[in-house]
Amino acid sequence: MWDPLGVKLIADLDIAKLDFWERPVSERHEAFAWLREQERPLFFAQPKVPLARAGKGFHALVRHADVTEASRNGAVFANSPAVTNPEPPKWVKYIYGDSLENKDAPEHTRLRRIVSRAFAPRMMARLEEHMRRRAEEAVSALAAAGPGDFVELVTQTYTTHVVCDLLGIPDADRPQVLRWVRDTVEYQAVRSDPKGMLRHAAKNTRATFGLRNLVIRLGRERRKEPGDDVISALAGADVEGERLTGMELGAFFLLLVVAGIDTPGHTMSHALALLSEHPDQRELLLSDYDRYMPGAVDEIVRYASPITQLQRTVTAEYELRGQRLAPGDKVVLFYNSANRDERVFTDPDVFDISRGPNPHVAFGGPGAHYCLGAHLAKRELTVLFQELFTRLPDVRLAAPPEPMVSTFNNAIRRLPVTFS
Specify whether the CB–CB gap between 204 and 187 falls below 8 A: yes
Decide whether 79 or 281 has the Cβ nearer to ligand HEM.
Answer: 79
- Does residue 362 belong to the site contacting ligand HEM (CB under 6 A)? yes
SS3 content of the chain, % helix, strand, coil (to 5): 55, 10, 35
Decide whether 41 or 365 has the Cβ nearer to ligand HEM.
Answer: 365
The least distance separating ligand HEM from the CB of residue 234, rounded to whole angstroms, comes to 12
Interface of this chain with ligand HEM, residues 108 to 147, rule: CB under 6 A: 112
- Does residue 259 belong to the site contacting ligand HEM (CB under 6 A)? yes
- Does residue 369 belong to the site contacting ligand HEM (CB under 6 A)? yes
Total residues found in the chain within this entry: 420
Helices and strands: H and E segment counts in the chain: 17, 12
- φ, ψ of residue 230 to 5 degrees: the values are -65, -40
By CB under 6 A, which span of 14-22, 58-66, 231-239, 257-265 interacts with ligand HEM? 257-265
By CB under 6 A, which span of 203-211, 322-330, 341-349, 362-370 interacts with ligand HEM? 362-370
Decide whether 247 or 371 has the Cβ nearer to ligand HEM.
Answer: 371
Decide whether 148 or 219 has the Cβ nearer to ligand HEM.
Answer: 219
- Does residue 311 belong to the site contacting ligand HEM (CB under 6 A)? no
The least distance separating ligand HEM from the CB of residue 248, rounded to whole angstroms, comes to 13
- Does residue 264 belong to the site contacting ligand HEM (CB under 6 A)? yes
- Does residue 310 belong to the site contacting ligand HEM (CB under 6 A)? yes
Helix (H, G, I), strand (E, B) or coil at 412: strand
Interface of this chain with ligand HEM, residues 156 to 185, rule: CB under 6 A: 163
Interatomic CA distance for residues 412 and 52, integer angstroms: 24
Interatomic CA distance for residues 138 and 297, integer angstroms: 20
- Does residue 101 belong to the site contacting ligand HEM (CB under 6 A)? yes
- Does residue 62 belong to the site contacting ligand HEM (CB under 6 A)? no
Q: Which residue is nearest to ligand HEM (CB)?
A: 373
- Does residue 371 belong to the site contacting ligand HEM (CB under 6 A)? yes
Q: Which of 302, 294, 325 is nearest to 42 (CA)?
A: 325
Specify whether the CB–CB gap between 81 and 313 falls below 8 A: yes
Binding mask 7-46 for ligand HEM (x = CB under 6 A): ----------------------------------------
SS (H, E, C) 2-57: CCCCCHHHHHHCCCCCHHHHCCCHHHHHHHHHHHHHCCCCCEEECCCCCCCECCCE
- Does residue 211 belong to the site contacting ligand HEM (CB under 6 A)? no
Decide whether 13 or 70 has the Cβ nearer to ligand HEM.
Answer: 70
Contacting residue, 260, 275, 334, 396, with ligand HEM by CB under 6 A: 260
Specify whether the CB–CB gap between 286 and 389 falls below 8 A: yes
Helix (H, G, I), strand (E, B) or coil at 283: helix
Q: Which of 262, 290, 19, 33 is nearest to 151 (CA)?
A: 262
Interatomic CA distance for residues 350 and 274, integer angstroms: 11
Contacting residue, 263, 269, 315, 336, with ligand HEM by CB under 6 A: 263
Q: Which of 348, 247, 248, 367 is nearest to 303 (CA)?
A: 348
Interatomic CA distance for residues 397 and 269, integer angstroms: 10
- Does residue 307 belong to the site contacting ligand HEM (CB under 6 A)? yes
- Does residue 306 belong to the site contacting ligand HEM (CB under 6 A)? yes
The least distance separating ligand HEM from the CB of residue 291, rounded to whole angstroms, comes to 21
Residues lying near ligand HEM in the complex (CB under 6 A): 71, 100-101, 112, 163, 255-256, 259-260, 263-264, 267, 301, 306-307, 310, 335, 362-365, 367, 369-373, 376-377
